[in-house]
Structure 1
Amino acid sequence: MKKVLLILCMFIISFGLTACSTSETYEREDMNVEEMPSSETNQERDEAEMSPPITIELNITIGDEVFLARLYDNQTTHALIEKLPLSIDMEDLHRNEKFYYFSDKLPTESEIPGNINAGDIMLYGDNCLVLFYESISSSYSYTRLGYIEDVERFAQAVGDEDIRISFDLTED
């Protein structure tokens, strides 16, 4: 009698495991099908990001040198523009970026960029302005603000020390 019950229990358990296994396979297949359009959407988004965005021109001044920057047209840059003209002492970090913490918060549209290019202007958190003068990989979240055009000359001008930098809109 015990053998019959044991065999019956094993049969029920193996049938139940097989049913779960098949169900998981179908769920995974369904998930793969759903992911494919998402991948195409990401590809389309990447291509859209590669096209020139609508930008606002900004002058960045270090000493006597003026650098042209292009800001993306988003809520964060509009909040930054409200602070202009602006002269701030920016600190160096890791010999690849300059940063400055505002006393107030700015709106954000954070993302993890992965690769950050020299010349990128970003907001870390909701109040830290960052100017990158070296390209890096990062897993931190940033809001994209824009980019500086003459990156090599900019990198030479900022060096790896703390520095005073001024920001103002270009005159049309």
Structure 2
Amino acid sequence: MKIIFLILCIFMFCFSLTACSASQKNETEETDTEEMQKSKSNAKSEKTVVEEGQSSEINQEREEADMSALLTINIKIGDEIFLAKLYDNRTTQALVELLPLRIRMEDLHRNEKFYYLPDSLPTDSESPGVIKEGEIMLYGDNCLVLFYEKFSTSFNYTRLGYIEDVERFAQAVGAGDINVVLDLAENNK
């Protein structure tokens, strides 16, 4: 009888230890979940602040990029010429070697024009999250993309540069396919 009582006590003791352990684990998980939710909430409010001041940030980013820009190119659509700044990276250096380019760019989703280059370029892709109007990027290793509308994305791109007069550019490209000439600007030849 004493042995049964002893076994029963040991069993109850082990069971209570397991229950306490699970309780502490649940409390830790709840605390972690609460902290993650607070972090997400803070990130959302920071994102809202960023979006509100985004147009000034776009200009500031582009001004800073001007200082590190490799060179200026001309993008000709019809009779209009747009100046674009290219960043100093190995992808743009490879692109410049292909210039001048006379291409037909297709419209996609009424926010971008794209063209598949005949050669692959080196890449350094990233997910920009938000693509701004006027940005020039490479999708994959050979798809040149000119963006004329701002939108969110989860795709990866290699940043090449940006078009300076985005409002005029957006009007010039329209919603259909376009013929484009990309060439070095006179000050770079």
Q: In 2, distance between residues paired with 1:146 and 1:81? A: 12
Q: In 2, distance between residues paired with 1:22 and 1:78? A: 55
Q: In 2, distance between residues paired with 1:5 and 1:138? A: 59
SS in 2 for 1:82: helix
Bigger mean CA deviation after superposition, 1-10 or 73-82 = 1-10
Q: In 2, distance between residues paired with 1:102 and 1:117? A: 22
Percent identity for Structure 1 against Structure 2: 56
Q: In 2, distance between residues paired with 1:18 and 1:106? A: 56
Q: 1:60 aligns with which of 66, 69, 75?
A: 75
User: What pairs up with 1:1-172 in 2 under 5 angstroms?
Assistant: 1=5, 2-14=7-19, 16-17=21-22, 50=61, 52-53=64-65, 54-55=68-69, 56-172=71-187
Q: In 1, distance between residues paired with 2:24 and 2:116? A: 56
In the TM superposition, residue 8 of structure 1 has moved relative to its aligned partner by: 2.4
Bigger mean CA deviation after superposition, 2-11 or 62-71 = 2-11
- Where does structure 2 lack aligned partners over 5 or more consecutive residues? 37-56
Taking structure 1 as the reference length, what is the TM-score of the superposition?
Answer: 0.78
Equivalent position of 2:41 in the other structure: none
RMSD after superposition: 2.8
SS in 2 for 1:157: helix
Q: In 2, distance between residues paired with 1:136 and 1:22? A: 41
Paired residues, what number? 156
Q: In 2, distance between residues paired with 1:23 and 1:91? A: 53
Q: In 1, distance between residues paired with 2:29 and 2:152? A: 36
In the TM superposition, residue 6 of structure 1 has moved relative to its aligned partner by: 1.8
Q: Which amino acid aligns with 1:52?
A: E
List, as ranges, runs of 4+ consecutive aligned residues in structure 1 with deviation greater than 6 Å: 21-25
SS in 1 for 2:9: helix
Taking structure 2 as the reference length, what is the TM-score of the superposition?
Answer: 0.72
Highest CA radius of gyration, 1 or 2? Answer: 2
Q: In 2, distance between residues paired with 1:160 and 1:171? A: 30
